[in-house]
Amino acid sequence: MPEEFEPRIIAFFCNWCTYTAADLAGVSRMKYAPTTRVVRVMCSGRIDPQFVLSAFAQGADGVLIGGCHPGDCHYIEGNYKMLRRFNLLKRMLSDMGIEKERVRLEWISASEGDRVKKVVNEMTEHIRALGPLKLPEAMAKWDVEFEEEVKEEPAHV
């Protein structure tokens, strides 16, 4: 029996709410799964969908985005900008075959340390059930298949 799969989740947390909430979870010694690697940004509105794609392409099993609650953004409305991008991104990812459980947007305010714990644990469980994404390996395989296809059928000029 192989060792239990430990997902790797890239977590983009906004400085003012979710990052602070994660600090609070720490100060309160709440225990959660060691699966997230936090990338701090000032605002969830800074998160370029390409960051998410890049994370998956480099081997992340999941991406968690944390921002302030609607109406509470430190920069007035950056979280709404993120929400719009996220809805588009989610559709695109599902078209690409990346399960919806692998990407999650959560509004977590600075006082909700327990919510960080809950969300990370939940997401870890969901992804564990799905298994590793292994996108880099898949992409390498696709590259080989593509090369072969090109060899077999030279492009029409």
Partner 1 sequence: MSLNPESNGKEEVRIGFFVCHCGTNIAGMIDVEEVAKYVATLPNVVVSKDYKYMCSDAGQDLIVQDIKEHRLNRIVVAACSPLLHERTFRTATMRGGINPFFCHMVNIREHGSWVHSEKASATEKAKAVARGAIGRVKFHKPLEKRKEPVEPAVMVLGGGIAGIQAALTVANSGKRVYLVERDATIGGHMAYFDKTFPTLDCAACILTPKMSEVGAHPNITLWTYSDVEQITGYVGNYKVRVKHRPRYIIEKDCVGCLDCIDHCVFKNGNTDDEFNQGLSKRKPVYIPFPQAVPKIVAIDPNACDFLAKGKCDQTCIPSCDKNAIDFTQKETFDDIKVGAIIVATGFKTFDAKRKPLYGYGKHQNVYTALEVERLVTSSGPTEGHVVLRDGRTPKSVGIVHCVGSRDHQTNRWCSRVCCMYSLKLAHLIKEHTNAEIYNFYIDMRCPGKGYEEFYERLLEEGNHFIRGRVAEVTDAAQTKDEEGKLVIRVEDTLAGFARRIPVDMVVLATGLEPREDANDVRRMFNISCSTEGFFLERHPKLAPVSTTTDGLFLAGACQGPKDIPDTVAQAGAAAAEAMALMDAGFVEMEPMTSEVDELRCSGCKTCLNMCPYSAIGRDDAKGVAVINPVLCKGCGVCVAACPSGAITQNLFEDQEIFAEIKEILAHA
Q: Is 25 near partner 1 (CB under 8 A)? A: yes
Q: Is 42 near partner 1 (CB under 8 A)? A: yes
Whether the CB-CB separation of 10 and 63 falls below 8 Å is answered with: yes
Exposure class string for 114-137: b at 16+ Cβ within 10 A, else e: ebbbbbbeebbebbbebeebebee
Tokens of 37: 């690697």
- What is the phi/psi pair of residue 37, to 5°? -125, 115
Q: Which of residues 55-94 bind partner 1 (CB under 8 A)?
A: 55, 58-60, 71-72, 74-78, 81, 85
Q: Which of residues 88-107 bind partner 1 (CB under 8 A)?
A: none
Residues near partner 1 (CB under 8 A) = 6, 8, 10, 15-17, 19-20, 22-23, 25-27, 29-32, 34, 36-43, 45-51, 54-55, 58-60, 71-72, 74-78, 81, 85, 109-112, 117
